[in-house]
Amino acid sequence: MGKIKKKYESGEATKYITRKQALLKLQLSLKLFRKLCILKGIYPREPKNRKKAQKGATDKKTLYLKKDIQFLLHEPIVESMRDHKIFLRKKKRAKVLRDQEALKRALESKPTYRLDHIVKERYPTFIDAIRDLDDCLTMCFLFATFPGLRFVPVGVVKLCRRLTVEFMHYVIEAKALRKVFISIKGYYYQAEVKGQTITWIVPHSFGFQPQSPDDVDFRIMATFIEFYTTLLGFINFRLFNSINVFYPPKVLLLPSQEEDSKDGDKELVSADEHLIERVAALNQHLLREGNAEDADQEPEIDEFPNVDDQDKIEEMKREAARVAQLKTLFSGLKFFLNREIPREPLTFVIRSGGGQVSWDREVFPGATFDVSDESITHQIVDRDNMDTQYLSRTYIQPQWIFDSFNARQLLPMENYFPGAILPPHVSPFHVEREGDYVPPEKRKLFDLERGILTGAELVAAEKKDDSEEEEYEEDGEAEDITELADDDSVASDDDNSELLDGDSKAKRKSLKKQMKVQPGKAEEIDMVKMKEGETKEQYRLRVMMIKNKHKRVYNRMMKSRQRRKKEADRLVTKRQSFQDNSNPSPKTSKKGKTGKASA
């Protein structure tokens, strides 16, 4: 007979280990254990049966998988952490005893470690690393804005700044940017890198006081950034090599810029700082190696004539055409940024669309042309009190750049002139479900992005709406116009010549303005409406065929759809009431006119 197993010697009790037991097994402090788990990607687990996993203990403990802790026993970085603990003890003792020789020896023998092997373990392939790049970029862009703190050295901040600038250069050179949105948190960007969609946030560049260590644990964040900087460095190296660009990046200076740099720029800073500033400007091309045309070629979509789903292939072709149009959206245009404009986000978006951009040389180094250049096509301003204006260029507000990029075509500039009330800046990231409320501005953006509506048609529609509103407010007699249109007396000019005087002639002219021929549009078959056209009996029979285990899910779906539809109807009513209150009713304006006339 085999040995009889006792209680808690198998099953859940042997799979998990508490944090206290893990610390004893690894001989590490809690601070070093947390750091090791962050670097290796190990996190606490929730067992199916906590009482069995804790061997009958009723209090809630932090549990880890036992195999993960055994995996940490063979990690080379553990020994380096123990040596670092000894180094801190020697350093503290030498400072207390004021032994300068011992302190010098301790600092010279400071243990170091590398995280290259950990990156390779956590991300076996390059695509896996790119897929997990969202949090990495957001954290690095955040740390790049920090001042020097106690737990965040200045060297880490400079490293994050350098790596984020290099990544933005790759996005510009590869034309990989797809969406952008400005929110109260910062700038949301979305890029497509190697077939993977990456979304990150860049905080606003405002002067601020960072939060105190009591609110945020900067030790934990510093551990994350230590791993993320190593990961982003590997990724930047591979991405730059994929498009035949030198790494570290080298700026391709123009002859005029080389003369300027020889004159006085390098006298103020060193050669390394001068190169860093030029690279951080983001408005100059990088030096490539080999043939640059081979790296810029886009793969073509293969043809599969025997595939049944041809509609999906056609949609992919249309999307590829829209992306190709987005990459050359600002090509041939030169932009000049005023002092009050956020330089980096606008430069990033304009360069990603193929445009040229510059600014005042006193604002930031790396300007490529001055404000007096006659070839400038657009000047981005945020104040309408311009001292000197040029007739050869257009003055617009910064939102035009972001809205045009999201719409994937140049929008009309009438609504973005300096001092004009800007249209709503809608988010391209939010995807509405069936029954959700879609604002008219979002519908226009969606139509522009899909190519259903062009910029000229948008201008015509807006002018038409404005003219109709003006006529509606001036005349204020829409009901009388319809009555006049229905009356047979309007159809005949001979019989009613006596009636057509004064107000009647004005009404008839307004009727003629409304009479026009509009081009026809292809009818779009809505499958949802076709389903709604079925009888209640057919719908009831279809619902009866749902399996019992799926009926609960179906009922939740229907309740959620009804809730969304109710909320959408409420928002439509709210918007309509707001528009009615903002524009006076025709009867009110009519009474006001008659009252003034009678007075």
Same-domain check for residues 98 and 210:
no
- 554, 548 contact by CB (below 8 A): no
Same-domain check for residues 429 and 370:
yes
Rounded to whole angstroms, the Cα distance separating 448 from 458 reads 9
pTM for the full model? Answer: 0.76
Given 401, 421, 455, which residue is the final one in a domain? 455
345-393 pLDDT, tens per residue? 999 999 999 999 999 888 888 888 888 888 999 999 988 877 788 888 9
Overall domain count for the chain: 4
Write down the pLDDT at residue 558: 87
Amino acid at position 334, single letter: K
* 57 within domain boundaries: yes
Same-domain check for residues 372 and 444:
yes
Name residues of the chain where pLDDT drops below 70: 1-3, 207-214, 253-274, 290-309, 448-505, 512-517, 520-534, 583-599
Given 108, 128, 156, which residue is the final one in a domain? 108
Same-domain check for residues 371 and 397:
yes
Write down the pLDDT at residue 191: 95
Write down the pLDDT at residue 103: 92
* 505 within domain boundaries: no
Same-domain check for residues 136 and 244:
yes
230-271 pLDDT, tens per residue? 999 999 999 999 999 988 888 776 555 555 555 444 444 455
Write down the pLDDT at residue 395: 93
Task: Pull the structure tokens for residue 575.
Answer: 């918007």
Indicate if the alpha-carbon torsion angle 420, 422, 423, 428 is positive or negative.
positive
Same-domain check for residues 432 and 336:
yes
Same-domain check for residues 132 and 246:
yes
* 258 within domain boundaries: no
Write down the pLDDT at residue 597: 39
Rounded to whole angstroms, the Cα distance separating 588 from 518 reads 32
**φ, ψ (nearest 5 deg) of residue 425:** -95, 95
Same-domain check for residues 101 and 201:
no
Strand order in the sheet with 186-193: 177-182, 186-193, 196-203
Write down the pLDDT at residue 69: 93
- 473, 583 contact by CB (below 8 A): yes
**What is the longest distance spanned by two Cα atoms in the chain?**
121
Same-domain check for residues 86 and 142:
no
Write down the pLDDT at residue 495: 44
Given 23, 52, 74, which residue is the final one in a domain? 74
* 598 within domain boundaries: no
**CB neighbour burial string for 392-407, b if at least 16 within 10 angstroms, e if fewer:** ebebbbbbbbbbbbbb
Full domain range(s) for residue 88:
79-108
Burial class (CB in 10 A: 0-12, 13-18, 19+), 274: middle
Q: Which residue has the tokens 């609960």?
A: 552
* 176 within domain boundaries: yes
Task: Pull the structure tokens for residue 401.
Answer: 């750049």
Same-domain check for residues 69 and 84:
no
Q: What is the CATH number of the domain that holds 353?
A: 3.40.50.10190
**φ, ψ (nearest 5 deg) of residue 542:** -65, -40
**φ, ψ (nearest 5 deg) of residue 362:** -80, -15
Same-domain check for residues 141 and 171:
yes
Same-domain check for residues 200 and 215:
yes
* 552 within domain boundaries: no
SS (H, E, C) 473-541: HHHCCHHHHHHHHHCHHHCCCCCCCCCCCCHHHHHHHHHHHHCCCCCCCCCCCCHHHHHHCCCHHHHHH
